[in-house]
Structure 1
Amino acid sequence: MRMRIIVYGVLSLLIFQSVFLEASKIKKRLNNQEAVFDSSPKFSLDYSPKKAKKVHWQISNTPLFDWISPILENVGDSSSLIVVPPEIAHDQLIRNQVYYFRYKTVSKKKNSAWSRPFRFSVGLPSPLEYHWKYNPDVDEATWHALLPYFLPSNHPLKNKLDAIFSSSRVTANLQTLQAAGFKNLEGWKWDKVIVAKHPHLPGYLIKACLDDQYALDDKYLIHRIFGAEAIRSAIEENGYEEYFKVPHKWIYPLPQSFTNEENGPKKHFILVVEDMDILDKEENRKMFRQIKSKKQLSALYHLISSQGLPDSIYIKNIPFAKDGKIAFVDTERYQLWPVEFSKLAPLLSRKMKKHWQKLVDKP
């Protein structure tokens, strides 16, 4: 018995030392003395370039790296200094806002773990800006109610959106949307709201009610923001970050211009959302069939049931992303009960189907 205690003690000490050393390595893998940059962020990496073939780095707006613009990720030749060119920083990063940088080395034998996220900003952190010119086509009460949920006016995306939507009445119908360069994502159609991407907006999607969609009211796009924030809060409060994520969403007020007589009343707003880089339909179906973690499935059940998410039992609304997390992409309806949990069960493996049913039956 005494020998067993000694062995356990030695093993515990070795494990502690291993964890401590690994944590120390991660902590030391960035040599930066600077966390606030004037224009071009520079990151000094603590490793020997000779020992790695490539360096893979990422920049995200969250320390969990749930969303990454494809422009802010790169795998390049081994180097101890990563410099983000000023034009990319200006084009992709909101000035005065906090971002996170991480990297890992890539070699023939194996890749290193990700470094600890390094917090930085371009300019001293300060509140977001919402300097939007009022559109008299919208009643003042509606404008001011939606204003706090607008895309920040200092967001790099604003100038790109302005350039696209100021050239013509892009949202008149599907043809005008496509003529402006948008690709309608028909493969992932959640409802009658149009979901589209544009080559000049990497890392983002838009959701729009078109002018010729008479039955749709663009003002109700705000409910998707409310739902996303409710789900995000629930994920954080329950510590479910390793399993789930939800995109940030903003309202973009369309420019005041262009008469529109043929396609019905003009819509004044669209929704801009982070692209969660989700899997296609078949891959998503496979991933749900391959779920093996009861803990993950229990977390999914708890999140859906506690938040009242009746649309989140359809896997097209909670697809797996390429980073392995489930993304809650359709967030319009929340705090609504009952939820038909039985609709998800047929898509799970036999073992997980039984576990799901136990969760549903539990009083």
Structure 2
Amino acid sequence: MSLALTAEERATAAGNDGAAMAMRIVADAARLMGADRLIPIQSAHIDGALYHGDSGTHFAEKLVAGGARVVVRSTLNVGALDLMGCSRVRLEEPARGMARRMMEAYRTLGCEATWTCAPYQAGHRPEKGSDVAWGESNAVVFCNSVLGARTNRYGDFLDIACAIAGRAPDYGLHQPENRLARVVFDVSALPSWLLGAEIAWPVLGSLYGRQVGEAVGVVSGIDVQPGEDSLKAFGAAAASTGAVGLFHIAGVTPEAPDLGSALGGAEPDEVIAVTPAMFADAKARLSTAERPARIDAVAIGSPHLSADELARLEALIAGRKLAVPLYACTGRHVLAGLNALRRTALENAGVVLVADTCVVVTPILPDLDGGVLMTNSGKFAQYAPGNTGYAVLYGSLEECVNSAALGKPMLTEIPR
């Protein structure tokens, strides 16, 4: 199958400027993926502005020098610096300067300085059925699953190339037939009270990702309506433990009004019956710290905390002074709604607000041998040991706050 470009696309690719470079990157990617055409996109979410080395900065600046500009709405994922000045990033020069140059280059390209991994909670919500090009694994899975827009997992730096070209390869999850579920993930054996609990969704997501991998699955047996934050937590954990780009939940997500619709009327290739024992094992796997006597820090907000989650954090602290720092990672769109009185109360309690970035992708946590980090995030739990050097202890948000107040684990056993 050969790629057929339109006359307009060929003309753009034949140029010598930044737009031509972007179009050639998209076309070459399409050929590698076996796509026969490019399709117009309505928006992009750019993950490539996070500094991983000088080459990324030079790439972005080359696009700028070539006069490239995005032609669709393009929001930005987290960078390597907290430009809001909430927290101290321990990134030293020259890396710090290169990271700042990289972030500035993406703004010059016309991207919105959102700096959040939850753009869907900052007003970027493409319509169901629309084609977009999003990066950042949790944003991709939320966009596909909860919003019903269509995107593949666009990595650095294909995401910005698509935004500049206004095109994406027509393959994978852009095509309706590839969005049908092939695996049923049946949670009907779990009690309703558990499915209604905040702690359940990161655990179920991590289990789903390991069991389903890169396949499209549908969760069945849900008799409670999970809120958007629960769906966010599920998708983020699933995308961290497996290459999940799309999930369905029967009766909840837009392309799955019922189980049969999610499967397209076909029989599933596999049915995974989730048992309480499987859930307990998945929860245990999220912790790498073995019976720690203390914790050194708490980190929440991966994906970034919503306004509702931040308000819940405030209610749980309830005037207490925390014994260890609690890092609350969120977007500047949430901070904008936090008045000075509320912010001061949080910071006086021992909360370290982190904006524009998070503690797992840039050095903010103290460099501590044998440190123990507690979190309620399945995504943090997956990545923190390798990225921060801290062992991880997983718990609910309430358990995290109670543990931070005492400086030691305060966990509640879940009945089997």
TM-score range, shorter chain: under 0.3
Structure index of larger Rg: 1
TM-score w.r.t. length of structure 2: 0.23
TM-score, normalised via structure 1 length? 0.25
